[in-house]
Structure 1
Amino acid sequence: MMNSFKEAIEALPAKISVIRKIEVGLNMNPGETWNIALYSEFDNLDDVKFYATHPEHVAAGKILAETKESRACVDYEF
């Protein structure tokens, strides 16, 4: 399932033009709390909002929806 999510997310730049960079990391340490890290870059907050509600992104998120216990998110500007 995590590999399916990783593949779905990594395919998004070809489908959602506002994505400048996207990486998915799968946790290699089973003793840690989190299993997946997602890093992405956009030009501005409007692009983040567009990405977050895009049907392809929503579909990718549904891969984890049934097994996800919790989620943490930080959106910041640099």
Structure 2
Amino acid sequence: MVKHIVLFKLKDEVPKAEKLVVMKKFKEAIEALPAKIESIRKIEVGLNINPEEAWHIALYSEFDSLEDVKSYAIHPDHVAAGKILAETKESRSCVDYEV
């Protein structure tokens, strides 16, 4: 099994209320993906409640293989969900590991 963990930081200049709207839309879109992408074994999105931390969003997901992660990454529904963050995202960090 491969665990796929992604962190997103949103731009500081984006107003807090706008960040929250974008974060909630992204969460909803990502968590709807298992119905559309068969290779997702588990997925969840956490919205950071601690304003002292740098990262705003944590995405946790599980797949059978790294190849499944790669096909998920280019799936049109995943790409569309990612575009929700396009205007507000400052940075992204990712780790994929086997268990």
Q: TM-score, normalised by structure 2?
A: 0.77
- Higher alpha-carbon Rg: 2
Aligned equivalent of 2:97: 76
The Cα of 1:60 is off from its aligned counterpart by 0.2
Partner Cα separation in structure 2 for residue 70 and residue 32 of structure 1: 14
Give the helix-richer structure, 1 or 2: 1
Gaps of 5+ in 2: 1-21
Question: Aligned letter for 1:16?
Answer: I
**Residues 1:15 and 2:36 aligned together:** yes
- Identical amino acids, percent of aligned pairs: 79
Q: Which residue of structure 2 lines up, in the alignment, with residue 46 of structure 1?
A: 67
Deviation at 1:65, TM superposition (A): 1.0
**C-alpha RMSD over aligned residues:** 0.5
- Aligned-residue offset at 1:55: 0.4
Which structure would you say has the larger RCO, counting Cα contacts within 8 Å and 6 or more residues apart? 2
TM-score of the pair, normalised by structure 1:
0.98
Cα offsets for 1:6-45 (capped at 9, x unmatched): 0000000000000000010000011110000000000011
**Cα distance in 2, alignment partners of residues 75 and 59 from structure 1:** 21
Name structure 1 gaps, 5 residues minimum. Answer: none
Larger strand proportion, structure 1 or 2? Answer: 2
